[in-house]
Structure 1
């Protein structure tokens, strides 16, 4: 439960940060293609994890 809530907040903060940078880019007519791509990936990952009630697991490589 804690992990799901924490992950939700992390994705929300990332979404807000990327959204702010993208909006500033639009206001100043500065293209942000890389940030747009990363934002789309983060948004899709958050949506998929939420819909599928999935988890994100990070493991160390040995």
Structure 2
């Protein structure tokens, strides 16, 4: 859905076989130590969170 969300919401594409769709999986950010996350890594994690939480992007809560 991430790549085609806009086309699905506009009706340009139609989803087929929704009942055969595998369950969604989360996106994980793995880094060596949670207390000392480098600022660049933290910025990337925050950017991913913002992008993947945007309206039209399906997530599991």
Normalised by the length of structure 1, the TM-score is 0.42
Give 1 or 2 for the bigger CA radius of gyration: 2
Q: Which has the higher contact order (CA 8 A, sep 6+)?
A: 2
More helix by share: 1
